[in-house]
Structure formats: structure tokens, C-alpha cells
């Protein structure tokens, strides 16, 4: 009785391969190697020759190819046996007497071999189908991962472009803010000069008014003209000072508005950098997972 198809160990396979020796080495075709291994397993060691056990001995061919080799092996063995298989060591008379029973046993053995072979072939085909299905799923996942990486790369580039735009706008706003500050400084200096000039004119006007009160009637007319001119200068200085104050107030308001815009742009820049960092981390994680 043959042993289970899974009972062949690596040590047994090494022993059988060593026993075949030069015959196995001299066989040039995989099918011949498979037949030698199958014959040794079945006839010499009483082990049913399955595709895995044969490949363990020959170390050649796929399970599908070896299953085909085994099918040919059993077919050739069936053809050699014929209707009355010879039994080595048993007289011809006994073999003839027990021929029908032996033929029945032989047919049962061949049928069992065919059944085992069909099982091995189906198992090999199932393994191939499972491997192909797994490979197809892996390819699908790979394509999905590549599409996701491409999308993330596009988002990354968009984030970088957005950051560059915000940085340019931020630089322009900062430059305008700096120019506004210089303008405010100039207006403050002009206002201080106008206030100083107006103070001097008011002081001269006060002196003129005091001199006008003290002057004689003859000189008062000429002096009154100078006093009126001083009054006009004081009024002009007040008007100029008022204009400067209005310009200064407008500049300060504009500066405050630009400062708010600058802060908003700065906040937008920080948000863009945050999104860019998150996208970059997500892209790095996905690339690392794909590399595993």
C-alpha cells in the first residue's frame, strides 16, 4: 500500500535523489526526470507520486507541468500493463489463475492513481488561479496607489504654488506698509514744522497787535497792513496744518488697514504651510507603505 502523498520529507527526497544518481542527472528533459522520480516513489518506496513530492526530488518544473508528466506516466504504465500484467517472482500459472483478480486490483490502483492525479491537478490549478487572482488584486491596488500618489503630488504642487503666491502678496503688502510708514513719518515732520511756524507767526501777530495798540494814529495805518498780512499768514498756516492733520489721519487709517490685511495674509500663509505639511506627510506615509 502506498503512503500518503504528503508523507515525503526533505530527507527522504534527498535520499531518493541520491539513489537515482546518474540516471536523474542524465535525463535531459523535465518529463523524463519526473517519470524517474515517480517510478522510484511508487515502485521502490511505496509512496504515491504527487506533483509536490516529484518536484521535491527533481527540483525541476512547475506543479502544473509535473502534473501533466504524471498523467503521461500513468498512461504509459497502463499501456505497458495490458490486460494481464506480469508479476515478477510469481509463476506464470499462478499469475494466470489470479489474473482476473490481479487485473481488478490493478485497475483499482490505476483508478486511484488517476483520482489522486486529478486531485493534484485541480489543487495545482486552484493554486495558479489563486495566485493569478492575488496578482490581479495587487496590480489593482498598485494602480490605485499610483493614482493616489499622482493626486497627492498635484495637490502638493498646488499647495506650493499657493504658498508662493501668498508669499509674493505678503512681500508686496509689507513693502507698501513700509512705504506707508515712511509717508507717515514725513507727514508728522511736516505737521511739526507747520505747528512751529504757526506758533512763530502767532507770536509775531501778538507782538504786532500789541504794537498797534501802542502806536500813534499816523503810523497805525501802515502797521495795520503788516498785522493783517500776519493774520493771513496765520490763517494759511492753520489751513496747511489742518490739511496735514487730515493727511496724517488718512495715512494712519490706511496703515492700520494695511496692517490688518498683512495679518490676514500672514494667517493665510500659515494655513497654506500647514496644508502643505500635512499633504507632504501623507504623501511620505503612502510612499513608505508602497515601498514595504
Per-residue pLDDT reduced to its tens digit, 29-63: 999 999 999 999 988 888 889 899 999 999 989 99
pLDDT surpasses 60 at 6: no
Per-residue pLDDT reduced to its tens digit, 138-177: 787 777 777 766 776 676 677 677 667 767 776 776 776 6
Higher pLDDT, 108 or 243: 243
Query: Which residue from 250, 247, 251 is spatially nearest to 191, judged by alpha carbons?
Result: 247
User: Any bridge partners for residue 3, and if so which?
Assistant: 47
Name the phi and psi angles at 3, rounded to 5.
Answer: -85, 175
- CATH architecture assigned to 142-291: Orthogonal Bundle (1.10)
Arithmetic mean of pLDDT over the chain: 75
Range(s) within the chain of domains with CATH label 1.10.287: 142-291
Angstrom distance (rounded) from CA 45 to CA 3: 9
pLDDT of residue 107: 63
User: What is the percentage of the chain residues whose pLDDT exceeds 70?
Assistant: 64
How does residue 67 score in pLDDT terms, banded at 50, 70 and 90? Answer: very high
Angstrom distance (rounded) from CA 274 to CA 256: 27
User: What is the percentage of the chain residues whose pLDDT exceeds 90?
Assistant: 14
Three-class secondary structure assignment of 188-212: HHHHHHHHHHHHHHHHHHHHHHHHH
How does residue 203 score in pLDDT terms, banded at 50, 70 and 90? Answer: confident
Q: What angle do CA 205, 206, 209 make, to 5 degrees?
A: 85
Query: Which residue from 46, 99, 42, 98 is spatially nearest to 70, judged by alpha carbons?
Result: 42
Give DSSP secondary structure letters for 90-146. S-HHHHHHTHHHHHHHHHHHHHHHHHHHHHHHHHHHHHHHHHHHHHHHHHHHHHHHH
- Ramachandran bin of 21, using left for φ above 0, alpha for ψ from -120 to 50, beta for the remaining angles: left
How does residue 5 score in pLDDT terms, banded at 50, 70 and 90? Answer: very low
Contacts 24+ apart (CB under 8 A), 288-291: 290/142, 290/145, 290/149
Amino acid at each position: 500500500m502506498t503512503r500518503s502523498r504528503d508523507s515525503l520529507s526533505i530527507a527522504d527526497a534527498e535520499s531518493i535523489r541520491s539513489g537515482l544518481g546518474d540516471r536523474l542527472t542524465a535525463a535531459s528533459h523535465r518529463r523524463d526526470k519526473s517519470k524517474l522520480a515517480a517510478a522510484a516513489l511508487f515502485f521502490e518506496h511505496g509512496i504515491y507520486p504527487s506533483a509536490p513530492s516529484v518536484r521535491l526530488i527533481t527540483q525541476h518544473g512547475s506543479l502544473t507541468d509535473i502534473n501533466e508528466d504524471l498523467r503521461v506516466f500513468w498512461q504509459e504504465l497502463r499501456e505497458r500493463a495490458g490486460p494481464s500484467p506480469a508479476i515478477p517472482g510469481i509463476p506464470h500459472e499462478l499469475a494466470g489463475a489470479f489474473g482476473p483478480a490481479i487485473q481488478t486490483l490493478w485497475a483499482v490502483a490505476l483508478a486511484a492513481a488517476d483520482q489522486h492525479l486529478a486531485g493534484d491537478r485541480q489543487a495545482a490549478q486552484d493554486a495558479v488561479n489563486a495566485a493569478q487572482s492575488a496578482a490581479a488584486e495587487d496590480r489593482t491596488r498598485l494602480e490605485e496607489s499610483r493614482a493616489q500618489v499622482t493626486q497627492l503630488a498635484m495637490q502638493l504642487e498646488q499647495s506650493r504654488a499657493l504658498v508662493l503666491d501668498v508669499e509674493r502678496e505678503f512681500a508686496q503688502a509689507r513693502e507698501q506698509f513700509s512705504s506707508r510708514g515712511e509717508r507717515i513719518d514725513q507727514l508728522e515732520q511736516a505737521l511739526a514744522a507747520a505747528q512751529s511756524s504757526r506758533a512763530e507767526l502767532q507770536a509775531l501777530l501778538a507782538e504786532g497787535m500789541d504794537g498797534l495798540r501802542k502806536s500813534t494814529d499816523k503810523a497805525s495805518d501802515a502797521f495795520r497792513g503788516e498785522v493783517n498780512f500776519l493774520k493771513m499768514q496765520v490763517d494759511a498756516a492753520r489751513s496747511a496744518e489742518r490739511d496735514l492733520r487730515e493727511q496724517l489721519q488718512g495715512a494712519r487709517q490706511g496703515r492700520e488697514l494695511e496692517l490688518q490685511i498683512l495679518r490676514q495674509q500672514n494667517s493665510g500663509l500659515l494655513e497654506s504651510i500647514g496644508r502643505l505639511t500635512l499633504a507632504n506627510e501623507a504623501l511620505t506615509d503612502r510612499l513608505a507603505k508602497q515601498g514595504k
